[in-house]
Chains A and B, each alone.
Chain A
Amino acid sequence: MKLTATLAAVSQADPGPTQADRVFYSATRGGALSVSLELEVGQIDVGFRADLVLIDLTDPS
């Protein structure tokens, strides 16, 4: 994800919109669309599968 976000600067040198949210979208809802599971995964919402990842915010690494 980080590499995709940072390589965008190489594929187009002009400064553009922030990449973090675009790439996060790609790895979640975009990916779900691509595999035809957009009504099941990729979002935290009513009716979606609870495929959740918990990231430890107290871990400094």
Chain B
Amino acid sequence: MDTPNLEYVTILDAADRLIVPGFVNAHYHSHDILAKGTMEEVPLETWCMLALPPQYPARSREEIKVRTILGALECLRSGITTVQDMVTLFPFDPAHLDAVLEAYEEIGIRAVVSPQYADISRASRTPMWADVFPAELHADLSGAAEPDTRFDLLTYLEETYFASEPRRRLTWGLGPIAPESCSTELVERTVELSTRYDLPIFTHLYESKSMALQARLDFPGYGGSLVRRMQSEGMLGPKVSLAHSVWMLPDEIDILASTGTNVTLNVVSNLKLKCGIPPIREFQDARSISLLGAIIAPPAIAKISSRL
């Protein structure tokens, strides 16, 4: 064996230490960090009416940088060295995204940044909201990402970042927030960008029971299955990661396994927001799915390790 050249090597004293690979937080939202400790014990749909960035006045660049650093610090203290951030910046301001990148680069965590986007409004994609709420309130029923007719986020990201020189410790992902919030055209554009720039795709699937119900109601052509719709539109496979997946059906798990699609579980978040318990063993037994451990629960951080 060759003797290593130690001239440029840093020696760490790891006596009495167990050395493990840094954990990967594969699903996280830095915009939720300052909401931590608020709105405990509410179901997801209530949380969605009250706690998402489009429902608040624009934040300052300083606040965005501080919250990003705080979240990254809590990740690092839990043994997480890579974080995937599906961040919403609303209304979008290039200086705010710059603050997120600056925060990650300064604190030193490895980050996969995937700003969220959608082109179908929340009010029209949550079962019964459009019927129950008066029409004048529909504009206020926002999701974490809403259609933005003033600004083309994907073109901005492509021109400013995807096509630029890679940065140290910082890579990009595509964040179509949920397939039911994206038209076929937006899904196809996402897949095209993923192929062109070799980017992973992150989205939410069947987090709450109402999201599964909505799929049954809105996609009869696909047997009520968002997985079948995504398969038909080409958005499954090893570059795709589906967060939550609590209400996934057995035949859908088979499709994910046969296409090598990733699933990211968020069990603390699912309990906190009263969404349910995902079919953990079924995902594991499907083998080709990489079941991913603990994540961030909005609004509290689910530590990936409570001292292991």
Contact = CB atoms under 8 A, between A and B. Distances in A.
A11 B24 contact: no
B281 interface: yes
Interface in B54-84: 79, 81-82, 84
Interface of A: 1-4, 7-8, 10-12, 16, 22-24, 26-37, 41-44, 48-49, 51-58, 61
B280 interface: yes
Interface stretch (B116-124, B222-230, B260-268): B260-268
B216 to A, nearest CB: 21
A27 B23 contact: yes
B304 interface: yes
B24 A32 contact: yes
B200 interface: yes
Given A28-B20, A35-B173, A41-B110, A8 B290 contact: no
A43 B21 contact: yes
B19 A11 contact: no
A11 B84 contact: no
A21 B200 CA distance: 26
B16 interface: yes
A26 B284 CA distance: 10
B112 interface: yes
Given A35-B84, A54-B19, A2 B306 contact: yes
Nearest to A28: B21
Given A27-B304, A42-B24, A51-B22, A4 B200 contact: no
The 7 closest A-B CB pairs, nearest first, are A31-B24, A27-B293, A30-B290, A51-B22, A12-B281, A51-B81, A54-B17
A51 to B, nearest CB: 4
Contacts of B294: 1, 3-4, 27
A7 B277 contact: yes
A20 to B, nearest CB: 9
